[in-house]
Amino acid sequence: MRWSALSFVTLAALILSGCRQPAAVRAPQPVRIEVPEPQVTEGSLWQPDTGPTGLVADQIARKKGDMVTILVVEDINAKRDRKMSTSRKQAADASIDNMVFSNWNFNGELPKIKYGSSRDYEGGGTIQDSGQVRATVTAQVTETLPNGYLVLLGQKEVVVAGETQVVTLTGIARPNDILPNNTVLSSKLAEARVNIFGSGPLNDAQRRTLVGRVLDWINLF
């Protein structure tokens, strides 16, 4: 009966997995920054807040709406060791010194019970993970903090051969960390968050199917 139920579950999982549509990636929607209108000073050749258009002005992001290129260079290395050791011992000894019926004996000896057991377990494992993330994302300044730091938001979508890759990045940059070519390393950002979303045939092939999850559940029993 048990195997019949498992066979039914497996067959149902196969049917459902064949009808399952690839999960859609919920990529964030593009964000547009509302830049305030520049102030116009009448009767002056130089107008403030019109951007770095002067002969000696640089191209470094400084205010809301400016753009800066973020060089995402992240190396991820994680290692965790775990060891566990347990030991358990039990012992019991019981005997009968006297019986009401003296004829009840075993080869002239009274019954005795002696029991002993021990169990030792020792195990361990190591989990090590490493990876690299390389990307270039142009972000906009969404806010200028009172101390002059810049809040950045960048999004980039690339579609190649049916594969869609979406990279979003947020963080806070110090103006001093922005290089003269208007780029900043992701390692220099505070509260940096880099999210990479993917969709397409290759991404779907890497997903675990419903059948695989059902078989893993069956193996538990």
* Weakest mean pLDDT among 47-51, 71-75, 207-211: 47-51
Does the pLDDT of residue 82 top 90, yes or no?
no
Higher pLDDT, 4 or 137: 137
Q: Please give the mean pLDDT across all residues of the chain.
A: 72
For 75, list phi and psi in degrees, rounded to 5. -110, 125
For 188, list phi and psi in degrees, rounded to 5. -90, -5
Q: Which of 188, 198, 69, 201 is nearest to 135 (CA)?
A: 69
Mean pLDDT of 199-203: 66
With cut-offs at 50, 70 and 90, classify the pLDDT of residue 209: low
pLDDT in tens, 135-190: 899 999 999 999 999 999 999 888 877 788 888 999 999 999 999 999 999 999 99
Does the pLDDT of residue 89 top 80, yes or no?
no
Full strand arrangement of the beta sheet holding 112-144: 183-185, 67-95, 112-144, 150-160, 163-173, 190-199
For 2, list phi and psi in degrees, rounded to 5. -65, -45
Taking CA atoms, 38 is separated from 35, 65, 110, 160, in Å, by 9, 12, 107, 39
Residue 2's pLDDT is 47
Q: In the chain, what are the domain boundaries? A: 1-22+206-221, 28-77+131-205, 82-125
Q: Which of 216, 213, 207, 158 is nearest to 21 (CA)?
A: 207
Taking CA atoms, 12 is separated from 18, 19, 67, 219, in Å, by 10, 11, 53, 17
CA–CA gap between residue 152 and residue 170 (Å, rounded): 5
* Weakest mean pLDDT among 31-45, 65-79, 87-101: 31-45
Residue 112's pLDDT is 66
Taking CA atoms, 14 is separated from 5, 10, 206, in Å, by 14, 6, 18
pLDDT in tens, 21-69: 544 545 555 555 565 666 666 655 555 555 554 545 567 878 888 999 9
**pLDDT > 90: percent of the chain:** 19
Instruction: For the beta carbon of residue 13, count every other beta carbon within 10 angstroms.
Output: 19
Does the pLDDT of residue 221 top 70, yes or no?
no
